[in-house]
Homo-oligomer: A and B are copies of this chain.
C-alpha cells in the first residue's frame, strides 16, 4: 500500500477523473489511492476476477485482452500512460473485470477504490457527468470498431489505424512511430501478424507509406485517406 506523493497527485488532478474534484474531495479520496510498480509480462488481473478498484496508468503500457477457447487472444484496448481503465467496475452489481490485463512495458499503476470514488462522486454532479461523457465516447468507439470489423476489409482497418496515429489532422505529410510491437497491433486490429505485414508491404509498394522498423512516414496523408474509400 503506497500512497501517491504530491507530485503524482498533481499529475492526477489533470486527469478527467479528478479534474472536477475539490481539494476537500481529493483529500478524502487520497487514502483510497494506491501506487504500485509492474513489469512487462506481469498479469495485473484476469477476466472474471473480483474487482474493487479501477486504474489509471502512470507509466508504461498495458494490454486489455480476451482469449478464445482456441487460445488466440484479441487485444481490446491498449492502455498508454495517462489513461484510465476499468472505471466501469464502479457500476456493476457484482463487480468483476471483464477482460485480462497484462503489462506490455513495465511502469507504474495507480489503483482507485471504486466505492470510495463513487462516494466522492455522489457530491459532484460535474464528475458524474464527465465520467458519463467518457463512457459515451467509449461506446462510440466500440460502435466504430464493430462497424469496421463487419463492414470493412483488413486493408481498410489497417489504413484507418495508421490515420488514427497521425498527430495533427491538417498536416499534408506525417511521421509517426508505432506505439508497440507489430504483433500486438495486429491482434488489436483483429488480424494475424502475417496479414498485417503483408498489407504494410502493399502500402509501401504503392508508395502511400514508407517505413523502417517502427517508424512510419506518410508522404501524403490525403492520398492514404483516399486509399480507404
Contact = CB atoms under 8 A, between A and B. Distances in A.
B136 A88 contact: yes
Interface residues of A, number: 38
> Which of A66, A118, A132 is most buried by chain B, counting CB atoms within 10 A of its CB?
A132
B145 A68 contact: no
Contacts of A190: 149-150
B142 A139 contact: yes
A74 B139 contact: no
B66 A136 contact: no
A147 B91 contact: no
A143 B77 CA distance: 10
Contacts of A151: 66, 68, 70, 72, 74
A145 B150 CA distance: 11
Query: How many protomers of this protein does the assembly include?
Result: 2
A76 B125 contact: no
Contact of A91 (B66, B91, B132): B132
Interface string A134-169: 011011101101110111100000000000000000
A72 to B, nearest CB: 7
A88 to B, nearest CB: 4
Interface string A168-183: 0000000000000000
A24 interface: no
17 contacts: A66-B151, A68-B152, A72-B151, A74-B147, A76-B147, A88-B136, A88-B139, A90-B132, A91-B133, A92-B133, A93-B133, A118-B129, A122-B125, A125-B125, A128-B132, A132-B132, A149-B190
Contacts of A122: 125
Given A66-B151, A68-B151, A93-B133, 13 more contacts: A66-B143, A68-B152, A70-B151, A88-B140, A90-B136, A91-B129, A91-B136, A98-B143, A128-B132, A132-B135, A138-B139, A145-B146, A149-B149
